[in-house]
Amino acid sequence: MNYFITPDLNSISGGNKYDQNILSYLYQIGFKVTNIYPSSSSLTMLNFLNTIYKIPKDSIIIIDGLIAAKMYSVFNNLVRKYRVIILIHHPVSYEKNKYGDIALKLKERKIFSEAHSLITVSKTMKKTVQRMLNNKKFIDVVHPGVDEDYFKNNHDKKHGYNLICVGSIIPRKNIESCIKTLTYLDEKWNLSIVGKYKKSDPYTHSLYNLIDDLNLSHRVKFLGQIEDNNNLIKILLESQIYICLSHYEGYGMANVEAATLGLPVVVSDLPVFRENLKGFKRKYVNVDNCQEIAKAIEDLFRDQTVRQNERSTRWKEVGFKFKQVLDGQ
């Protein structure tokens, strides 16, 4: 039997979307897999681990890397009892520190090194994980896919001057640089921010303060979390430029989705973005230079060339490759 241990997939994130699509594909082809996840409302971590201990011996368990470190204390027992595969979207130790949180990094090093197999979502993350390991280990790369709806629509440049960014409202997304860039653009440019947030959250609070300080409240809109894909696509298609100035990403699925629609994208100069945005209409920028970012936006806005979206991968192809990895092919 096979078990996929994930976070609660009800919340929206790139990693959760990946896990959901893999599970959906495996269910569709009749592959027997059970999804187990900790729920803050019904299971303490102890009860969650007790549930895992009840899994039959020699089963295959796939663990999403987001929660792998939480299983550090029992990991030795898991690898003795099961075939353990870890799916790494990005090491959690790098979430808030570009050099890696030392304590968490040591835990992840031990876990990644002891797992029987590793899967990651980009060649860039593969290199990052390889540097963390205590021993040489083959790492499979299974890139994320794009929903079918993004292939059915295509961006037709409309009148307007709207920037859009999509993602969690957290510090590593560097939303503040998106906001500051507006001060280097003509007054007609606006910014729409899509993503779940709470005004009481310290980071969100700091963004509102920045908007007030720069007198930009009439040019910045927080649209919140948009769960319906069709509504999100509609908003993307009504925008002129997609912007992502993250300090760190494991892949950047929302960037590829926007680029698949045909939106020009302005993104951080990160290795993973250079890997997955080749062939799309894009500019890489220094996130600390808002003047450079503004120029990239203006240059892309004036550029009339059209790029096709055939580079993007569909989720069924991703599921097929993931299943091959599980089969040891």
- pLDDT exceeds 90 at position 163: yes
Residue 308 has a pLDDT of: 57
Residue 329 has a pLDDT of: 58
Range of weakest confidence among 181-185, 278-282, 294-298: 278-282
DSSP three-state, residue 123: helix
Q: Which amino acid is at 34?
A: T
Interior angle at CA 241, CA 165 and CA 200, nearest 5: 20
Range of weakest confidence among 7-11, 76-80, 189-193, 285-289: 7-11
* Alpha carbon distance 84, 67 (integer Å): 14
* Alpha carbon distance 217, 209 (integer Å): 10
**Segment 103-150, tens digit of pLDDT:** 899 999 999 999 999 999 999 999 999 999 988 899 999 999 999 999
Residue 8 has a pLDDT of: 84
Residue 157 has a pLDDT of: 64
**What's the whole-number mean pLDDT along residues 265-293?**
95
* Alpha carbon distance 51, 126 (integer Å): 30
Pick the CATH number of 149-302 from 1.10.10.10, 3.10.20.30, 3.40.50.2000, 3.40.30.160: 3.40.50.2000
CATH 3.40.50.2000 occupies which residues in the chain? 2-145+314-326, 149-302
Average pLDDT taken over every residue of the chain: 91
**What's the whole-number mean pLDDT along residues 27-35?**
94
**Segment 237-253, tens digit of pLDDT:** 999 999 999 999 999 99
- pLDDT exceeds 70 at position 40: no
Domain 2-145+314-326 superfamily per CATH: Glycogen Phosphorylase B; (3.40.50.2000)
Judge whether 289 and 283 are in contact, CB under 8 Å. Answer: no
**Segment 45-99, tens digit of pLDDT:** 777 878 888 899 999 999 999 989 888 888 999 999 999 999 999 998 888 777 7
**What's the whole-number mean pLDDT along residues 224-232?**
91
- pLDDT exceeds 70 at position 42: no
- pLDDT exceeds 60 at position 41: no
Residue 158 has a pLDDT of: 65
**What's the whole-number mean pLDDT along residues 312-323?**
94
- pLDDT exceeds 70 at position 176: yes
pLDDT tier at 159 (50, 70, 90 boundaries)? confident
* Alpha carbon distance 300, 155 (integer Å): 14
Judge whether 261 and 236 are in contact, CB under 8 Å. Answer: yes
Q: How far is residue 77 CA from its own chain's centroid?
A: 30
